[in-house]
Structure 1
């Protein structure tokens, strides 16, 4: 029986090799064009012989991303969004209903007033949430705990 070997965690630091999310960001900014990517690597390294993203370090990757985005750089990968839901699950629809009751809504120019999922995301990630993990990964019991917490917010709001 073979065991799976885990990939070692990526090291963060300017002298360490480029990270996976940096590679993806550079390629996306290059519109997945190899020739453009090659030019960026040559520019960042100052060497015409180097064209592989694997040959650059994190500082050089940051330099490329900064130049590509006009100075805007994200130092960490985007944080996971916890408020993604499945409209086919009754418990998720109940959460949307409770959000409306709690007035966690925003105005959409096309659809009108809709639940503010960013507010739900902040709540789930906060210390006040009974379960701190993405809604799609919650078990039925955990979803019920979240529903109870939202009911408590509504009760306190409309005393």
Structure 2
């Protein structure tokens, strides 16, 4: 994934300087929002930076669910959904349905081997996604 750009760094630092008292407080808040420890804004990638800028400017998180839209007739998509259920990536309010926001966020993240929306992936790319999700599932049961 591409690294954060200088204009993004400047924009984040400008936004954050008005919201946080110091660097430590800013990095702690960003780490909490991103779900990983961030020791410097330069560790972020472009997508993460865009999401933070959007959040700080609007107060809303980006909707990742469009990346997780699936074709109910595609067997590989069904396999992805099954793996999400097994991982517990389901909606809190309705556990019968996969949390598309979480799946879409994972597809956009550095942890995903293919950074494309589910519907835009070919068979080979979907196989990589399935393999990665299976490995996550295996690691959860070790």
TM value normalised by structure 1: 0.48
Aligned to 2:39: none
Change (3 A) 1:151 1:88: same
* Ranges in structure 1 where 5+ consecutive residues have no aligned partner: 1-71
Cα offset, 1:113, TM superposition: 2.7
Aligned residues: 84
- How far did 1:108 drift? 3.8
> TM-score, normalization: structure 2?
0.53
1:83 to 60, 68, 93: 68
Question: Are 1:131 and 2:114 counterparts?
Answer: yes
Say yes or no: does 1:103 pair with 2:94: no
RMSD of the alignment, in Å?
Answer: 2.5
Higher Cα Rg: structure 1 or 2?
1
Greater percentage in helix: 2
Per chain length, whose mean CA-contact separation is higher, i.e. which structure has more relative contact order (CA < 8 Å, sep 6+)?
A: 2
2 CA distance for matches of 1:139 and 1:85? Answer: 13
Match of 1:141 in 2: 124
Tell me which residue corresponds to 2:135.
Answer: 152
Deviation at 1:78, TM superposition (A): 7.4
Q: Which ranges of structure 2 fall in alignment gaps of 5 or more residues?
A: 1-56
CA distance 1:106–1:138, change in 2 (3 Å): same
Q: Secondary structure at the match of 2:96?
A: strand
3-state SS of the aligned residue for 1:115?
Answer: coil
* Alpha-carbon distance in 1 for matches of 2:129, 2:113: 6
Distance 1:138 1:106, change over 3 A: same
CA shift digits 1:57-115 (9 cap, x unpaired): xxxxxxxxxxxxxxx969xx977821010011000000110001111112445xx5321
